[in-house]
Structure 1
Amino acid sequence: MKSVFRILLRLILIAAALAALAALTLAFLRWRGYILLPDEVHPPEWQVFGVDVSTYQGEVDWTSLAGQGVDFAFIKATEGSGLKDVRFAENWSGSQAAGIRPGAYHFFSYDSPGETQAQNFIETVPVTPGSLPPVVDIEFYGSYLDEPADAAATKAILDPLLEVLEEHYGVKPILYATYRSYQLYLSGREYQDYPLWISSPLVAPLLHDWDFWQYSHAARLEGYQGREQRIDLNVFRGSRKAFDAFGLPTA
């Protein structure tokens, strides 16, 4: 009897291990873009959809993206204190010409002062009536993937960056974060008034307060010719009327 029980227990453990392996495999394949959920391109509960792009998407046909239901685009502008995305200007003007509302994002650096990062962004991104607020993208790179920067040191860079951007553009910047960067750097009360763009590609956001949700890294749309074949998808949390009132005022 004991031997039968042990066999059954072993089979249950093997089945559980196989199920866990299958779930991990499916999650990996979805992340790599080989599996898309049926509602991934247009979740029915949201009204306003967008993408985010950089030079990695290459030349973008903004009219094609508009025809596929894209309402807004976060466009990479700068990184750190010196890097400028070489396709920013053409993407900024192209999105507007196609009727896609633009917003520019800055990839935050832990290695240079916030003031010089802000200046890099301001030199690149014009104050454009009707555009979305500037975005500060806080994630990890290089050695910070394994050893994240100290929270106090990060705050000392981030706070002046946000202050200068808000003064120049007249609106509070959007903070982009993963769950990890949010918990490490943004969960305090001092950042609760900033709009939040959260990256959560596998499940709906687990945070109560967010304004934009990056829900997929794995989509493939028509209309771009870069080395990156995938494109990120986003939704705005709110109605189209609320979206139209969000950001820099129109002229």
Structure 2
Amino acid sequence: MAYGVFKAAGALIAAGLLGIGGWSFATGWHPAQGQYPLQGVDLGENPGAIEWGTVRARGADFAYLVATSGADRRDPGFEANWAALPDAGLRRGAVHLFSLCQLAADQANAFNAFVPRTADALPVAVDVGYRDDCTARPDQDVLVGEMRTFIAMVEAHTRKPVLLRLSKAVDKDYQLSAAIDRPVWAISNVFPPSYAARPWRIWRASDIRRIDGIEGPVNWNVVAP
């Protein structure tokens, strides 16, 4: 009887260790550097304090930061992080979280007023996804027209083509990657994404990676070789 109890306990401990080991592997995983030489992070809103020098030392070549969301939200940490990135040796890019509930012109004006035009900046990424704070679902032609308005206004400000960061659900419903001729930033954990109508330029390969210098999980991305 005692042997059976110890055997069962040993099996539970082994399973637990395997689970811990698997999770540790998952949170440390990233696509091979040899296949994708350029890799980096993108952070959500209000990311907290970041040790950018440490992030660079852990293999990040670039960082994308949320600057604005909709027409009325500015990320409070954007300006300080934006200024710190060049000194840490990281290339920098700004992200706008597009709202389906607000006019594109108002959103573009908010972004352009907040994010400076800088020669070293990477192309702006406009993130289009379904969010809890907006239940609007415009017609496809309406959204495509709004996206084109936003892109035209932001590109006039930055003088660089915009990146389309599209969730799989949004691109399935609206076919934005087919309708708008801009580079695509696609999202798919572990497995390279294939849902967009054109090859991806950036792939968010993990949203659970953990690295020194950032508290909590980070979004880890690679650039197409």
**DSSP-derived class of the 1:121 partner:** helix
Check if 1:92 corresponds to 2:82.
yes
Separation in 2, partners of 1:50, 1:95: 12
Could you say which residue in structure 2 is the equivalent of 1:51? Answer: 41
Separation in 2, partners of 1:144, 1:73: 27
Check if 1:185 corresponds to 2:171.
no
Deviation of residue 168 (structure 1)?
1.3
Contact kept in structure 2, 1:54 and 1:85, CA below 8 Å: no
Deviation of residue 165 (structure 1)?
0.7
RMSD: 2.4
Structure 1 segment 143-222 matched on structure 2, within 5 A: 148-187=137-176, 189-191=178-180, 193-207=181-195, 208-222=198-212
Deviation of residue 131 (structure 1)?
1.2
**DSSP-derived class of the 2:95 partner:** strand
Could you say which residue in structure 2 is the equivalent of 1:12? Answer: none
Contact kept in structure 1, 2:27 and 2:208, CA below 8 Å: no
Contact kept in structure 2, 1:219 and 1:231, CA below 8 Å: yes
Distance 1:143 1:42, change over 3 A: closer
Aligned partner (choices 213, 219, 225) of residue 232 of structure 1: 219
Higher mean alpha-carbon deviation, 163-172 vs 211-220, is at 163-172
Deviation of residue 112 (structure 1)?
1.1
Could you say which residue in structure 2 is the equivalent of 1:243? Answer: none
Amino acid at match of 2:142: A
Separation in 2, partners of 1:56, 1:224: 12
Deviation of residue 35 (structure 1)?
5.4
Aligned length: 203
TM, length-normalised to structure 2:
0.82
Higher mean alpha-carbon deviation, 194-203 vs 62-71, is at 194-203
Separation in 2, partners of 1:64, 1:143: 34
Contact kept in structure 2, 1:196 and 1:211, CA below 8 Å: yes
Could you say which residue in structure 2 is the equivalent of 1:106? Answer: 96
Contact kept in structure 2, 1:79 and 1:108, CA below 8 Å: yes
Deviation of residue 187 (structure 1)?
4.3
Higher mean alpha-carbon deviation, 176-185 vs 117-126, is at 176-185
Deviation of residue 186 (structure 1)?
3.7
Deviation of residue 189 (structure 1)?
4.1
Please list every run of 5 or more consecutive structure 2 residues that lacks an aligned counterpart in the other structure. Answer: 1-18
Q: Percent identity?
A: 26
Structure 1 segment 125-140 matched on structure 2, within 5 A: 125-140=115-130
Separation in 2, partners of 1:91, 1:123: 17
